[in-house]
């Protein structure tokens, strides 16, 4: 019975020119977005590879050079593009992909949070995820607005109920058709996008990419079901098909455009991101404040810790500092250790602000599942803020390791030479390159599990509400 109703719905939809036109538009936009993303991704990956090679060669070719100059010369940490960025670039275009690893300072890739890009902004960027997030609800609303309202107006609902069908079965059949169509669209798009991601994701685990694609499919399928639930609910409540369509268009504009935009602004307004000047001046103040006084026990402890690491053995508390150490390098390394602690705290505070902004958006996700989907989608694609932070932490570790190697070499081999010490030409080759491994899918799921739960809750509640209303409606 339910199958017969669903099949009939699909035949009617197939013969509806509006649905075919909208499907064709969505297909064309997805294809265009995917091709654009593919080209950009391939170019980006080539540029990263080339830049990494050039950076590595330049670092190794430094020859005999003052160590501290080399520390300021630094190195670059390039963020490899996530394979599923071909599907959802998330916030990565707004955050930058390169971090300069230099002495004394943990540079950000960029400060400005871009996760609050409104959905139409994402559509203008023409990402596959943006097209799906924005146009899938529209497609489903066009397919579902007449499900009950048009049948009631035409009289066919009465005919159907006279045949002896229960309202519950009618609802289930219609939901199966409308949501099923949405899930089919999502499945096709995500299968193609995941296949593309596996192909372009050289060096990335194909299993991980497929697992991420499956996670995306779960999220977008839930989104399609939620949209179908909304369409059927409105169709069951509205007096006429025209009013159902108008209500659904309003819901679309509010849910896809207005609420995400307002939520992003509210997040930013309630939890302000510091501007660059404020951030750097407060960080400099914190570094100065955190530096222990000359001759203090705290400074002596750090000094002992730094020296122990440099000479490769633990310095006992009553043991005097070895005389054969470059004091300038020791001072530099102490500054690095103390600075790193402050940077860890200030960046943690900055990311905590981003997290609070995200939490505000999550509260708004009660009004629009689009927000929860955007978070989940970017997380699974590895293009959200959590993934970016994972990269920045890895880059910072590399920076600390790089500077420690340079400073320790200077400390141990440059006794009495101060800043005039020249590192050997072969030394640079002993410093390992930055090898970044993006986090596994489990990291993404942990980061966005609340968003998935919100999405599933939305789907469950709206489908239950639609079922409740549809079961109680009359045919006349």
Partner 1 sequence: MLKAQNLGRRFGDAWALRDLDLHVAPGEIQCLLGANGAGKTTTMNLFLGFLEPSCGVALVDGKEVARDPHAARAQLAYVPEQVSLYPTLSGLENLAYFTQLAGKSGSDPQRLEMLLDRVELPRSAVRLRVERYSKGMRQKVGLAIALAKDARALLLDEPLSGLDPHAANEFCALLRKLAGAGVAVLMATHDLFRAREIASRIGIMRSGRLLDNLVNDGISSSELERIYLDRMRDSAVA
List of residues contacting partner 1 (CB under 8 A):
1, 4-5, 8, 11-12, 15-16, 154-156, 158-166, 474-476
Nearest to 117 by CA among 101, 102, 133: 133
Q: Which is nearer to partner 1, 158 or 261 (CB)?
A: 158
For the beta carbon of residue 466, count every other beta carbon within 10 angstroms. Answer: 26
| 3-class DSSP assignment, residue 9 | helix
Minimum CB distance to partner 1, residue 163 (Å): 4
Q: Which is nearer to partner 1, 317 or 474 (CB)?
A: 474
Nearest to 408 by CA among 105, 68, 69, 72: 68
**Contacts of 70 by beta carbon, 8 Å cutoff, 6+ apart:** 62, 406, 423, 428
Q: Provide the pairing of β-strand 65-66 with 75-78.
A: unpaired
Q: Provide the pairing of β-strand 98-102 with 105-106.
A: antiparallel
Minimum CB distance to partner 1, residue 247 (Å): 24
Residue 189 CA to residue 129 CA, distance in Å, equals: 9
Minimum CB distance to partner 1, residue 173 (Å): 10
Q: Which is nearer to partner 1, 44 or 152 (CB)?
A: 152
Q: Which is nearer to partner 1, 74 or 173 (CB)?
A: 173
Alpha helices in 382-440 (DSSP H): 385-413
Q: Which is nearer to partner 1, 165 or 349 (CB)?
A: 165
Minimum CB distance to partner 1, residue 3 (Å): 9
Q: Which is nearer to partner 1, 11 or 58 (CB)?
A: 11
The sheet carrying 98-102 orders its strands as: 75-78, 98-102, 105-106
| 3-class DSSP assignment, residue 366 | coil
Minimum CB distance to partner 1, residue 178 (Å): 16
- Work out whether the CA dihedral 436, 438, 443, 449 comes out positive or negative: positive
Minimum CB distance to partner 1, residue 188 (Å): 24
361: which 2 tokens?
């958006």
Minimum CB distance to partner 1, residue 181 (Å): 16
Q: Which is nearer to partner 1, 162 or 316 (CB)?
A: 162
Minimum CB distance to partner 1, residue 12 (Å): 6
Minimum CB distance to partner 1, residue 154 (Å): 5
Q: Which is nearer to partner 1, 12 or 42 (CB)?
A: 12
Q: Which is nearer to partner 1, 309 or 471 (CB)?
A: 471
Q: Which is nearer to partner 1, 6 or 325 (CB)?
A: 6
**Contacts of 387 by beta carbon, 8 Å cutoff, 6+ apart:** 82, 90, 379, 438, 439, 443, 444, 447
> What burial letters (b/e) apply to 15-37, b meaning 16+ CB within 10 Å?
eeeebeebbeebeebbeebbeeb
CA 15 to chain centre: 39
Q: Which is nearer to partner 1, 80 or 146 (CB)?
A: 146
Minimum CB distance to partner 1, residue 171 (Å): 14
DSSP codes, 331-352 = HHHHHHHHHHHHHHHHHHHHHH
Minimum CB distance to partner 1, residue 5 (Å): 7
Q: Which is nearer to partner 1, 14 or 468 (CB)?
A: 14
* R_g of the chain computed on alpha carbons: 29
Minimum CB distance to partner 1, residue 143 (Å): 14
**Contacts of 350 by beta carbon, 8 Å cutoff, 6+ apart:** 111, 273, 274, 279
Strand partners of residue 77: 99
Question: Torsion angle of alpha carbons 437, 371, 223, 17, nearest 10°?
Answer: -110
């Amino acid at each position: 019975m339910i199958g017969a109703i669903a099949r009939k719905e699909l035949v009617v939809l197939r013969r509806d020119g509006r649905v075919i036109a909208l499907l064709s538009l969505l297909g064309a936009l997805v294809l265009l977005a995917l091709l654009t993303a593919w080209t950009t991704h391939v170019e980006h990956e080539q540029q990263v590879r080339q830049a990494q090679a050039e950076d590595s060669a330049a670092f190794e070719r430094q020859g005999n050079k003052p160590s501290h100059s080399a520390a300021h010369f630094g190195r670059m940490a390039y963020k490899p593009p996530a394979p599923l960025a071909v599907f959802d670039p998330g916030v990565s275009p707004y955050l930058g992909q390169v971090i300069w690893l230099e002495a004394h300072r943990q540079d950000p890739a960029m400060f400005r949070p871009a996760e609050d890009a409104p959905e139409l902004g994402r559509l203008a960027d023409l990402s596959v995820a943006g097209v799906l997030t924005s146009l899938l609800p529209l497609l489903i609303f066009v397919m579902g607005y007449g499900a009950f309202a048009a049948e009631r107006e035409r009289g066919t609902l009465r005919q159907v109920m006279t045949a002896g069908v229960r309202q519950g079965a009618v609802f289930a059949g219609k939901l199966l058709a409308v949501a099923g169509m949405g899930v089919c669209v999502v499945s096709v798009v995500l299968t193609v996008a995941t296949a593309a991601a596996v192909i372009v994701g050289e060096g990335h685990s194909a299993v991980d990419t497929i697992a991420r694609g499956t996670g995306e499919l779960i999220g977008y399928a839930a989104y399609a079901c939620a949209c179908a639930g909304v369409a059927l609910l409105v169709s069951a409540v509205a007096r006429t098909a025209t009013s159902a369509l108008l209500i659904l268009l309003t819901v679309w504009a509010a849910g896809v455009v207005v609420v995400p935009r307002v939520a992003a602004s509210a997040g930013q307004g309630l939890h302000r991101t510091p501007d660059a000047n404020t951030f750097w001046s407060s960080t400099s103040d914190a570094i100065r404040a955190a530096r222990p006084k000359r001759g203090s026990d705290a400074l002596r402890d750090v000094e002992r810790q730094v020296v122990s690491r440099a000479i490769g053995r633990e310095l006992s508390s009553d043991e005097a500092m070895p005389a054969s150490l470059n004091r300038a390098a020791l001072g530099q390394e102490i500054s690095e250790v103390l600075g790193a602690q402050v940077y860890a705290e200030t960046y943690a505070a900055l990311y905590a602000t981003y997290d609070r902004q995200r939490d505000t958006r999550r509260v708004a996700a009660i009004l629009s599942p689009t927000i929860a989907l955007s978070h989940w989608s970017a997380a699974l694609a590895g293009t959200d803020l959590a993934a970016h932070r994972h990269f920045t932490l890895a880059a910072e570790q590399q920076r600390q390791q790089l500077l420690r190697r340079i400073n320790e070499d200077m400390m141990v081999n440059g006794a009495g030479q101060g800043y005039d010490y020249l590192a050997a030409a072969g030394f640079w080759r002993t410093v390992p390159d930055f090898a970044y491994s993006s986090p596994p899918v489990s990291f993404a799921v942990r980061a966005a599990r609340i968003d998935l739960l919100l999405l599933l809750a939305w789907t469950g509640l709206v489908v239950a509400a639609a079922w409740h209303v549809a079961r109680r409606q009359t045919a006349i």
